Amino acid sequence: MALTMEERDLRYIWHPCSQMKDYETLPPMVIDHGQGVWLYDIYGKRYLDIVSSWWANLLGHCNPDINAAIRDQLDRLEHVIFANFAHRPAIELAERLAEITPPKIRKFHFNDNGSSAVECALKMCFQYYLQSGKPQKKRFMCLTEGYHGETIGALSVGSMDLYAKMYQPMMMDNIHVEAPDCYRCPYGKTRETCSCECFAAAENAFREHAGETAAMIVEPLLQGSAGMRIYPPLYLKKLRMLCDRYDVRLICDEIATGFGRTGTMFACDQAEISPDILCLSKGLTGGYLPMSITCVTEEIYDAFYADYSEGKAFLHSHTYAGNPLGCAAALAVQKVLREQHILQKAGQTASWLTREMDRAFGHHPNVGEIRHIGLIHAIELVRDPETKAPLDPARRTGYAIYKKALEYGLILRPLGDVLYFNPPLNITREELTQAIEAAHRALCDILPET
């Protein structure tokens, strides 16, 4: 008997971020093609991709404008070494990014995935201080529950036990600052009464460690992998000032938040701050091709600019850095964002979605909080909304809801017991209504309303 596609998959493939034994009960879904928010499997069943395929798909699958741009580029040039060489798509993309990134960002270093953009930022900050006569500044600060990727350096500025704990012996010794936790605010404040009391933790850490610290890295406004934890712009404003006061570089990892995900082009824009380094990936190519960019200020760039013999160059490279197909896709994304007024329209959709989510989920006895920023809406499920006591993690409630939602044709991949929508920015209200219905059914199947 011929093997099924699923069997052939499991014979050789080790999937990312999965316990492979789980595939015994939930085999891989073999996707044949995509169109807009929809993915179609090989049996013709369709799924609404409400998580944008790992938050990368910014403007729908097989977007005609992006497809055309890649096709066009494909017949000109697929790849060229990016040391000493350049090409039109990279040059135009850098020009475009210079227009839209925060004001102090001036230079763009191309890499090929999010984690490597973060590694690059860390190495740059270390070398920046080394070459500025401050070699003692070689440690990094980060927020607890932060996520910056899976490579060793990126993991060690993340502090989510789930991904990082086991590898502790391999990691750098970084300083982990208690992150804001707005849903379970230890100061008893609400989002309305907050004045960032929790910022004291950062102030204490800087007082003690700033002298040995090169940079602080954060996910601005939204700690995504932590369960879509949202914190106020004021925290970022204060952090920018603190970094300036203590001569510490600020790295904003906007790999997840960039390109309109939080309602503005970048999350930094809402705090009106300009980081020293900005890391971009995911939505950059619309989720088409692996590419990332580490964007830096003139000041950092200048510390590397010298005669070759001084040995100050940044000798960091990735084979696929500046890949022309990726740049062509990224340029097409920018064109669509601009010409189709995507951010404005997404903003209107977002306000509507907030009301609809509250209406559909607000009364469920296990819904602790529905939080939102831009089109991202997250529902934190709890045992008791009064006490905010979490559900028993051993029950894997989120995973059970995920499996149910798949039956209803929705790809809802919870973070623990946090369900979330993070759809392409051009999703329609009809599609969102379908997603809400399927998510609500799946939730109520697993956690009945009465």
Question: Which residues, numbered 92-121, are part of the site for ligand PLP (CB under 6 A)?
Answer: 113-115, 118
For residue 118, the minimal CB distance to ligand PLP (Å) is 6
* The one among 49, 145, 253, 417 contacting ligand PLP by CB under 6 A: 253
The answer to whether residues 248 and 284 touch, using CB atoms and an 8 Å cutoff, is: no
* The one among 205, 256, 435, 447 contacting ligand PLP by CB under 6 A: 256
For residue 329, the minimal CB distance to ligand PLP (Å) is 15
Secondary structure letter of residue 320 according to DSSP: T
**Residue 115 assigned ligand-binding role:** yes
Q: State how far the Cα of 320 lies from the Cα of 309, in Å rounded to an integer.
A: 27
155 vs 436, beta carbon nearer ligand PLP: 155
114 vs 414, beta carbon nearer ligand PLP: 114
E strands of 174-320, at which residues?
175-177, 213-218, 222-223, 229-230, 249-253, 277-280, 292-297
Q: Is 219 in the site for ligand PLP (CB under 6 A)?
A: yes
**Residue 413 assigned ligand-binding role:** yes
* The one among 111, 281, 323, 366 contacting ligand PLP by CB under 6 A: 281
- Number of neighbours of residue 416 by Cβ within 10 angstroms: 18
The answer to whether residues 121 and 215 touch, using CB atoms and an 8 Å cutoff, is: yes
**Residue 318 assigned ligand-binding role:** yes
Q: State how far the Cα of 415 lies from the Cα of 436, in Å rounded to an integer.
A: 17
**Residue 147 assigned ligand-binding role:** yes
Q: State how far the Cα of 156 lies from the Cα of 313, in Å rounded to an integer.
A: 25
The answer to whether residues 281 and 259 touch, using CB atoms and an 8 Å cutoff, is: no
Number of shown-chain residues binding ligand PLP (CB under 6 A): 14
Residue for token pair 């070759």: 308
**Residue 183 assigned ligand-binding role:** no
Closest by Cα among 274, 266, 284 to 322: 284
Q: Note the helical H segments in 25-160.
A: 52-55, 64-74, 88-100, 114-130, 152-156
User: Per-residue string for binding with ligand PLP, 47-86, x by CB under 6 A?
Assistant: ----------------------------------------
Question: Which residues, numbered 139-158, are part of the site for ligand PLP (CB under 6 A)?
Answer: 147-149
118 vs 405, beta carbon nearer ligand PLP: 118
Q: Residue 9 class from Cβ within 10 Å (0-12 exposed, 13-18 middle, 19+ buried)? A: middle
Q: Is 275 in the site for ligand PLP (CB under 6 A)?
A: no
For residue 219, the minimal CB distance to ligand PLP (Å) is 5
- Going by the annotation, the residues of the binding site are 54, 114-115, 147, 253, 282, 317-319, 413
- Going by the annotation, the residues of the binding site for pyridoxal 5'-phosphate are 114-115, 253, 318-319
Query: Residues interacting with ligand PLP, by CB under 6 A?
Result: 113-115, 118, 147-149, 219, 224, 253, 255-256, 281-282
- Going by the annotation, the residues of the binding site for substrate are 54, 147, 282, 317, 413
